[in-house]
């Protein structure tokens, strides 16, 4: 078994080396079959329908909707405390940070 001391540069190099290997595999694929592109092949798949440009990009609702559904009971208690005052908000951030630091200190004794 090969043993090397870990180094961030070594790990980054390893990722890039793997990417280079993957690129070579991709190029071999291109050599085997040269792409013969036609407008039909380049169209985005949409079950045969014509796509509008706005439909081809992400909708943030897809991301937030499940999170809102899960945390609805939590929001009920949190929303009244959300005054919109920046200093209060920052105070909560500091309190949260202190709690995390205490947990880490207790964990890594």
Partner 1 sequence: MIEILSFLLAYFIFPGLLFASVLGLLFIGIDRKVTAHMQHRIGPPIWQEFLDFGKLLGKEDITPAAAQGFVFTLAPLIALGAAITVMLLLPINSARPALTSVADLIIIIYLLNIPAICVMLGGYSSACPFGAVGANRYVVQLFSYELIFIVTVLTAAVKVGSLSIGDIITYQAHNSWLAFKLPLATAAIVVAAQAKLLRVPFDIPEAESEIVHGPFTEYSGPKLGLMRLAYAIELFAVAGLITALFFGGPVAHTIAGVQIPGVVSFLIKTFAIVLFTTNIRNIAARLRIDQAMKFFWTIIALIAIVNLIIVVL
By the 8 A CB rule, do 51 and 44 touch?
yes
CA distance 55 to 63: 15
> Taking the CA atoms of the chain, what radius of gyration do you get in angstroms?
26
The pairs formed by 18-26 with CB atoms below 8 angstroms and a separation of 24 or more are: none
> What is the maximal distance between C-alpha atoms in the chain?
64
Binding mask 43-62 for partner 1 (x = CB under 8 A): xxxxx---x-x-xxxxx--x
Residue 96 in the binding site for partner 1 (CB under 8 A): no
Restricted to residues 25-44, the positions that interact with partner 1 (CB under 8 A) are 25-26, 28-30, 32-33, 35-37, 39, 41-44
CB of 12 to partner 1, least distance (A): 9
Site for partner 1, rule CB under 8 A: 1-6, 10-11, 14-23, 25-26, 28-30, 32-33, 35-37, 39, 41-47, 51, 53, 55-59, 62-63, 65-67, 69-70, 106-107
């Amino acid at each position: 078994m090969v043993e090397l001391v870990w180094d961030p540069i070594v790990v980054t190099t390893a990722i890039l080396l793997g990417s280079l290997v993957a690129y070579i595999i991709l190029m071999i694929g291109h050599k085997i079959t040269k792409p013969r592109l036609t407008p039909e092949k380049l169209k985005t798949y949409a079950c045969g329908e014509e796509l509008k440009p706005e439909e081809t990009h992400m909708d943030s609702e897809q991301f937030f909707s499940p999170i809102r559904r899960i945390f609805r009971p939590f929001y009920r208690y949190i929303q009244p405390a959300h005054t919109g005052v920046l200093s209060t908000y920052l105070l909560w951030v500091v309190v949260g940070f202190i709690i995390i630091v205490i947990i880490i200190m207790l964990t890594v004794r």
